[in-house]
Amino acid sequence: MHEKQTVFLVDDDPAMRESLVLILELAGYRVRSFASPHDFLEAFSALEPGCLLLDQRMPEMSGIDLQELLLARGCPLPIIFLSAFGDVPTTVRAIRGGAIDFLEKPTSQDILLQRVEAALEEDRKRREEVAVESEIRQRFQQLTPREQDVMSLTTQGFTNKDIARQLGISPRTVENHRSRMMFKMGAANFAELCRLSAICTSASGKASLTNN
């Protein structure tokens, strides 16, 4: 377990919160518990690593509603749903929304801890991906406008001669721009450049982690 990760718990049942906090803390996890989604939203930052144990049926805002709100904000926090009233449509909706699991109360302690550890591992992987993609986008921003043009046209399959005609420059100049662009992007070959280009041009919500 990563020492900086936190298991966030949202459940309006005080007895359930107390029981879950005890189980998790005895297992060595750092826990922050909340009585409502609103309390959680007031205290939580998307920059905080961890996972979310989330009750489904709560007054004012359901667990599914909170999940959808977090998704709309681009928050990648892995979610494990807990509910005494699970049903197939709700479960499917939660899983399609990216939930790690949907557990019915009461669930065994072993299963709960296994799913929490899996959720924390997923959080680590997601945040590593965000960090890598952010670094790739920073490389792209270091390209000159002309190098960005050459990168765009190169990944569309145009030859140096085609690019030269489109940009009104010589093929030799295109070669120079392309060489510098490949070096700055850290691309070893065309396939790698295409992968990096896809990341730079994507509208991934993961980037919003840095905007909270």
**CATH number of the domain bearing residue 196:** 1.10.10.10
Q: Tokens at residue 21, please?
A: 């906090």
Q: Look at the chain and report how many structural domains it folds into.
A: 2
| Alpha-carbon span 17 to 134, nearest angstrom | 36
Low pLDDT (below 70) residues in the chain = 1-3, 86, 203-212
Predicted confidence at residue 197, as pLDDT, reads 93
Domain that holds residue 187: 142-202
| Residue 118 and residue 88 share a domain | yes
pLDDT digits (tens, 9 = 90+) for 78-114: 999 998 876 778 888 888 888 999 998 888 999 999 9
| Residue 146 and residue 84 share a domain | no
| Alpha-carbon span 133 to 208, nearest angstrom | 12
63 assigned to some structural domain: yes
Predicted confidence at residue 40, as pLDDT, reads 96
Predicted confidence at residue 156, as pLDDT, reads 94
| Residue 71 and residue 26 share a domain | yes
Looking at residue 167, its amino acid is: L
Predicted confidence at residue 3, as pLDDT, reads 53
Predicted confidence at residue 84, as pLDDT, reads 80
| 201 CB neighbour count, 10 Å cutoff | 12
Q: Where would I find the H helices in the chain?
A: 14-26, 37-43, 63-72, 88-96, 109-141, 145-155, 160-167, 171-185, 190-201
188 assigned to some structural domain: yes
